Amino acid sequence: MENFLSNLKIHALAILLWFAAFFMWKDYFQQPRQMMERGKYTYFTGTYSSAGNEIYLPSGHSGNHYIILKEASRTFIPEAIDWSAFIDEVPTDTKFTVGFSPEEDPKVSGKGIRTFSLKYNNKEYINDQDAVTWYNKSIIKRRNTALYFTLAGFAAFGLVWWIKRRFFK
């Protein structure tokens, strides 16, 4: 038991890195991870209820925009949107169409859905190339961060093992 506890103390950093990697992999696998291609979206048409900005407390910093449709159980988070034109031109209680990843389901409640297309009266309010590029880069970044933490845990474990074997035997 004493040997186990001493090894646990020595390898604490590696264990901590593996715990962090576990939660990063969990986040990666729970969120959509299919790379998007321009124009290959799932579309949902609904009645515009309200829109606004997220506000982070206690700082009061304003974050992403959000749009609420009456028929959906989730909010839609448009990226690369011409927000002022959208707010000025789209009246409340009108129908418009949003395009998003096929992995998302707006009828099931959960986090907001990243939106790549927002059309009203045949006008597109989102620059989908910027939104798709950003979305794909964020998926790659989440995966790479989890991978780096996993490899860092193995490296820390191996380094401690090598130092212990080389200098303390």
- Computed over every residue of the chain, the mean pLDDT equals 84
154 vs 13, 16, 83, 93, 166, CA distance in Å?
10, 11, 46, 55, 18
pLDDT at 87: 84
pLDDT at 60: 64
pLDDT at 62: 67
Contacts of range 164-167, beta carbons closer than 8 Å, 24 or more positions apart: 164/10
**pTM, two decimal places:** 0.70
9-47 pLDDT tens trace:
788 888 899 999 999 999 888 877 788 887 788 888 889
> For residues 117 and 169, which has the higher predicted lDDT (pLDDT)?
117
pLDDT at 154: 92
Q: Is the pLDDT of residue 59 over 70?
A: no
| Residue whose pair of structure tokens reads 């020595």 in the numeric block | 10
Q: How many CB atoms lie within 10 A of CB 83?
A: 14
Q: Is the pLDDT of residue 169 over 70?
A: no
Q: In the chain, how long is the greatest CA-to-CA distance?
A: 76
